[in-house]
Amino acid sequence: MGIVFGTISAEMPAFKVIATTPIYEIRIVPPRIAATVTDRISDNSAFPILAGYIGVTSAPKNEQGTSISMTAPVVKEPTQMLTPQMGGIVTNTGFGDGDMSMAFLLPSKYKSVDDCPIPQDPRIKLISHDETTIAALAFSGRVTEEIVRHRLSQLLKAVEQDELIQTQETKAQAPKWQVAQYNPPFTIPFLRRNEIWLFLEDVTEEKLSKLRKA
């Protein structure tokens, strides 16, 4: 019953929080391996593909037959990014129409792709991610395209004001972002933990010091 009420017992990335603001926090996310479905298929199709790979409800569908522990969060990312000149930073995220990839972060014991069980389903790609700096904005409730657009806009405005990214009028390429969902869909909505992750570059100690003093 704990997961219905928002309890998260799964392994989560060992975030290091390096600055906090009233709207978001800046974190260092450690290196990680993600099992990712990037094909344009719905969430209802992508989730069971990944669940099958790790063996959530059946024998694991990987060549080694190895059960892999579920972790949190499940991460989604737009499969296409629009530049500001093309009309906005957010493509049609879909949430059911296949316009977002879906990824399970594998347990931290897997240090490289070569360590991981090999997926039987070719739609699953094992992707290695380096240590990353992100701005993370947390929110509860349901995750819909409208809500994601609103929260992403809120986060972008805040980090622009704090001079952590260029304004969208002067930046040639839209910033990379992801949606992180920590709870299963049957968790009571207002107890769910969700986040927007905005990837940051060139975050200097001088910029962090200004945030810490604010």
pLDDT value at residue 20:
94
Task: Give mean pLDDT, residues 120-136.
Answer: 97
Q: Are 203 and 114 in contact (CB under 8 A)?
A: no
1 within a domain of the structure (yes/no): no
207 within a domain of the structure (yes/no): yes
5 within a domain of the structure (yes/no): no
Question: Parallel, antiparallel, or unpaired for β 194-200 and 177-181?
Answer: antiparallel
172 within a domain of the structure (yes/no): yes
CA angle in degrees (0–180, nearest 5) for 137-179-189: 80
CA angle in degrees (0–180, nearest 5) for 73-75-78: 165
Residue 71 has pLDDT above 70, yes or no: yes
128 within a domain of the structure (yes/no): yes
Q: Which residues contact 170 (CB under 8 A, 6 or more apart)?
A: none
Which residues form the domain of 195? 18-213
3 within a domain of the structure (yes/no): no
> What secondary structure letter does DSSP report for 80?
S
Residue 67 has pLDDT above 80, yes or no: yes
Q: Are 119 and 62 in contact (CB under 8 A)?
A: yes
Instruction: Enumerate the β-bridge partners of residue 77.
Output: 101
The CATH number linked to 52 is 3.20.80.10
d(CA 60, CA 98): 24
Question: Parallel, antiparallel, or unpaired for β 132-139 and 25-29?
Answer: antiparallel
For residue 181, the Cα-to-chain-centroid distance in whole angstroms is 7
76 within a domain of the structure (yes/no): yes
79 within a domain of the structure (yes/no): yes
Q: Are 78 and 90 in contact (CB under 8 A)?
A: yes
Q: What is the pTM of this model?
A: 0.89
Q: Which residues contact 29 (CB under 8 A, 6 or more apart)?
A: 13, 15, 129, 131, 132, 133, 134, 197
Q: What is the pLDDT of residues 168-191, one digit of tens each?
A: 544 556 678 899 999 988 899 999
Token digits of residue 68: 């892999």
Residue 161 has pLDDT above 60, yes or no: yes
Question: Parallel, antiparallel, or unpaired for β 74-78 and 194-200?
Answer: unpaired
| Total count of domains within the chain | 1
Task: Give mean pLDDT, residues 101-111.
Answer: 96
Residue 135 CB coordination number (10 Å): 26
Residue 124 has pLDDT above 80, yes or no: yes
111 — pLDDT class (breaks 50, 70, 90) = very high
Q: Are 104 and 153 in contact (CB under 8 A)?
A: no
d(CA 25, CA 53): 33
Please provide the average confidence, as pLDDT, over all residues in the chain: 86
